[in-house]
Amino acid sequence: MKLSDNEKRDVIKLIDAEKEIPDKYRFLLFEDKKEVELVWNGKTHEVTKVVLPFQTIEHIDEPRAEKVEDSHAQLGLFSYDTRGRQLKGWTNKLIWGDNKLILSSLKNGPLREEIEKMGGIKLIYIDPPFDVGADFSMDIVIGDETFTKEPTVLEELAYRDTWGKGADSFIAMIYERLSLMRDLLADDGSIYVHCDYRVNSYMRLVLSEVFGKDNFRNEIAWCYSGPGKNNSAFTRKHDSIFFYSKGETNIFNTPRVEHKSGIHNRGAFLGKESEDSAERVAQLEEQGKRLEDWWSDVYTADRQRNEVVGYPTQKPEALLERIIQASSNENDIVADFFCGSGTTLAVAEKLGRKWIGSDLGKFAIHTIRKRMIEVQRKMKKESSDYRAFEILNLGKYEVEHYIGVNQELQDEEKEKQIAQKNNDFVELILKAYQAEKIVGFQTVHGKKSSRVVIVGPINLPASRLFIEEVISECREKHFTKVDILAFEFEMGLFPHILDSAKEKGVDILLKYIPKDVFDKRAIEKNQVVFHDVAYIEVKPYITNKSVAIELTDFSVHYSQDKIDNIVTEIKNGYAKVTVDNGQIVKVIKDKNGIVSREVLTKKWTDWIDYWAVDFDFESKKEIIKVPKGDGKYKEMWTGDYIFENEWQSFRTKKNRSLELKSIFHECEKGRRKIAVKVVDIFGNDTMKVIEVNI
């Protein structure tokens, strides 16, 4: 330590006064660093080690027309049942949730063993949210109009976590996730990180710290052309893609491209007669030249109209094809933990790679589901092999991560702050719902008329397990009518849980908490509306050996903006599209300030983007692995079943039509349960289970 007595006294005074210590003391107190270091507010090398179970909520596999007898099947990489659906082998993973917790659970949980058996993850490509002005809002087409869907509360909280303190919070977010990704990569694996001018200087320093500067391989400049904003002296027309390996060696299949000059004659290049033979020149021309680290031959996704899925940050397939072919081989696992529209996954499937993808946005998961079904259909038509994929849920989140707990507090104080903030949150929701608070119960928070009220957590979707706890306490305390309020409900929340509750004498209503609960004026005026979950009606058609399902009704109760607020906001001569009590409405204010409204959702089918049928719902049990000690796991049935997607109809950018009746599906005689899943235009899913006798 190199401090004088006077300097020591000054530091102590600053600490006692809780004032900031000047930077000069950092280098006096600690030994000089030999390397440049990136420092940000709240920097820590601690990485989460949480392990949460993955819940499989849907299994999707386009049936093959006939038994495949190619080399893959003979080698046992694929195995099919009588329906032409995959029986064994790797199943691709599409995971909904916070990727920090997903990465930690993949790294430290039972799925790690399965990944390692497949050789580990060889390549990670990520395109994280590097635009400080970006959010989770999405443009949705309704007829000839475009409606902007606002982000959910969970998505807004994630945005706050990413950009709440500007660059500091972005770097903190990406640093921990990159650390987890490094540990998940195989020893010969690589990572490609896509960014632009906003964060590329930070990103390279973070990557060098996490992966080591010696493992830097390239900074690729992806150059593109076309119209753009003149937002700088020279129009910005390139992104940066940083390529790092995990270790000294990594998979790399050298990409080669055609010589634009049409020659590879070094003599001609030097302005003299060629020193190469004509045969050698022809050989070099055919081989092509090694690709440089600037790519100007890959157009943006909006130039490839057949690829566009309506996602704002979508990247072209040609870009991912080049990266995946360069840094992975066939049957390797490729991962993307900010997968957005699913380009990485679609290209990986087409190139014969296994894949893992995750995203926090429910709309993104739904977009990818449709895209991957289309990939399966196309590959089936081309007689190419493709793998089944499953949609997984990771529903539990860390409380303090979302409700703004001071991380610098001691553990005991932190727990007190969590408890207080949870209590404040519950009281806020109860007041908005006009319910009376009651205490002394494990799950029950309030009462409204003859019904008890349960407030789901702010930090996670209300899950099946949460609802089972509610049912258990209500039966014990003899509560027969229950309202459960939540910002989100677990994807694939099975309706038979509610049916089972009814059989046990507990009538449960699920209601969404609107964002208006954070508007004090709306609460004071009793203007907060809690809307019900969606409602489905279906009709079965039964013959001697088969059954078909017709979708006959679907309703939602969403509201986004108050009409009165919109009327005040919009200027004369303008219009805005909003959601009001289950209808999408265009509010128009003419040049004279006269307001009119046009309902854009003309019929109930306008709300539906996708629906699917599982013709034998209880045929596939949901099995999870739980710890049994000594780092080992045992398999356990959760009591629920996986939705096997056997038939589906959905809208695409090109085709907006929707079939409302499924094909007839051949079934064995007897009683069976059929599940119908509907996904609305916002990406929210609802399911109904019916019982039929064939």
- Decide which of 358 and 362 is more confident: 358
CA angle centred on 691, ends 685 and 694, rounded to 5°: 130
In a domain, 183, yes or no: yes
> 453: domain CATH number?
3.40.1350
Distance in angstroms (rounded) separating the CA atoms of residues 257 and 45? 42
User: What's the pLDDT at 539?
Assistant: 95
The helix/strand/coil state of 136 is coil
Residues 554 and 464 in one domain: no
Reference 542, options 672, 686, 642, 650; nearest CA is: 672
CA angle centred on 650, ends 88 and 489, rounded to 5°: 75
The pair of three-digit structure tokens given for residue 486, joined into one six-digit string: 């939540």
Residue 227 pLDDT grade (very low, low, confident, very high; cuts 50, 70, 90) = low
CA 239 to chain centre: 23
Distance in angstroms (rounded) separating the CA atoms of residues 501 and 498? 5
Q: Which pLDDT tens digit goes with each residue over 185-218? A: 999 999 999 998 888 999 999 999 999 999 999 9
Asked whether 108 and 625 are in contact (CB, 8 A), the reply is no
One-letter amino acid of 678: V
Mean pLDDT throughout 575-591? 84
Which of 272, 290, 308 marks a domain boundary? 290
User: What's the pLDDT at 268?
Assistant: 45
Give all strands (DSSP E) within 471-599, no chain letters: 481-486, 507-512, 531-532, 535-542, 546-555, 574-580, 583-589, 595-599
Please tell me the least confidently modeled range out of 75-89, 225-239, 315-329, 540-554.
Answer: 75-89
Mean pLDDT throughout 491-511? 80
Residue 493 pLDDT grade (very low, low, confident, very high; cuts 50, 70, 90) = low
Residue 32, number of CB atoms within 10 A of its CB: 6
User: What's the pLDDT at 71?
Assistant: 40
User: What's the pLDDT at 267?
Assistant: 46
Helix spans in 260-361 (H): 266-269, 278-287, 317-327, 343-350
User: What's the pLDDT at 556?
Assistant: 82
In a domain, 83, yes or no: no
Residue 356, number of CB atoms within 10 A of its CB: 26
**Top-ranked range on mean pLDDT: pick from 244-253, 392-401, 548-557, 583-592:** 244-253
Q: What are phi and psi of 666, to 5 degrees?
A: -70, 130
State percent of the chain over pLDDT 90.
Answer: 38
One-letter amino acid of 295: W
One-letter amino acid of 35: E
- Decide which of 173 and 191 is more confident: 191
Evaluate if residue 655 carries a pLDDT over 60: yes
Residues 316 and 175 in one domain: yes
Residues 150 and 299 in one domain: yes
Residues 431 and 510 in one domain: yes
Which DSSP letter does residue 35 get?
S
In a domain, 477, yes or no: yes
Which DSSP letter does residue 408 get?
T
Give the chain's end-to-end CA distance (angstroms, integer). Answer: 84
User: What's the pLDDT at 75?
Assistant: 38
User: What's the pLDDT at 136?
Assistant: 64
**In terms of C-beta density within 10 A (0-12 exposed, 13-18 middle, 19 or more buried), how is residue 379 classed?**
middle
Residues 499 and 616 in one domain: no
Residue 114 pLDDT grade (very low, low, confident, very high; cuts 50, 70, 90) = very high
Evaluate if residue 119 carries a pLDDT over 90: yes
The pair of three-digit structure tokens given for residue 248, joined into one six-digit string: 């000294």
Residue 41 pLDDT grade (very low, low, confident, very high; cuts 50, 70, 90) = confident
The pair of three-digit structure tokens given for residue 620, joined into one six-digit string: 């596939």
Mean pLDDT throughout 662-690? 90
Residues 527 and 544 in one domain: no
One-letter amino acid of 198: R
Residues 193 and 123 in one domain: yes
Residues 245 and 146 in one domain: yes
User: What's the pLDDT at 407?
Assistant: 47
In a domain, 172, yes or no: yes
One-letter amino acid of 369: R
Distances (CA, A) of 317 to 301, 324, 350, 388, 392: 8, 10, 10, 21, 24
Residues 541 and 641 in one domain: yes
Evaluate if residue 74 carries a pLDDT over 50: no
The pair of three-digit structure tokens given for residue 346, joined into one six-digit string: 């679609």
Give all strands (DSSP E) within 108-254, no chain letters: 121-126, 138-142, 145-149, 185-195, 216-223, 238-245
Q: Which residues pair with 146 in a beta bridge?
A: 141
In a domain, 364, yes or no: yes
Residues 658 and 604 in one domain: yes
Which DSSP letter does residue 661 get?
B
Evaluate if residue 68 carries a pLDDT over 70: no
- Decide which of 236 and 490 is more confident: 236
Residues 225 and 324 in one domain: yes
Can you give the residue range of the structural domain that contains 440? 411-531
Q: Which sign does the torsion angle of CA 335, 336, 340, 341 carry?
A: negative
The helix/strand/coil state of 11 is helix
Please tell me the least confidently modeled range out of 48-62, 151-165, 413-427, 573-587.
Answer: 151-165
608-614 and 671-680 beta bridge pairing: antiparallel
- Taking all residues of the chain, what is their mean pLDDT, rounded to a whole number? 83
Label each residue of 55-107 as H, E or C: EEEEEECCCCCCCCCCHHHHCCCCEECCCCCEEECCCEEEEECCHHHHHHHHH
- Decide which of 642 and 230 is more confident: 642
- Per the structure, the count of domains in the chain is 4
Mean pLDDT throughout 452-475? 86
The secondary structure element, H or E, covering residue 312 is: none
- Decide which of 476 and 87 is more confident: 476
Residues 339 and 205 in one domain: yes
Evaluate if residue 402 carries a pLDDT over 90: no
In a domain, 567, yes or no: no
State percent of the chain over pLDDT 70.
Answer: 81
User: What's the pLDDT at 70?
Assistant: 46
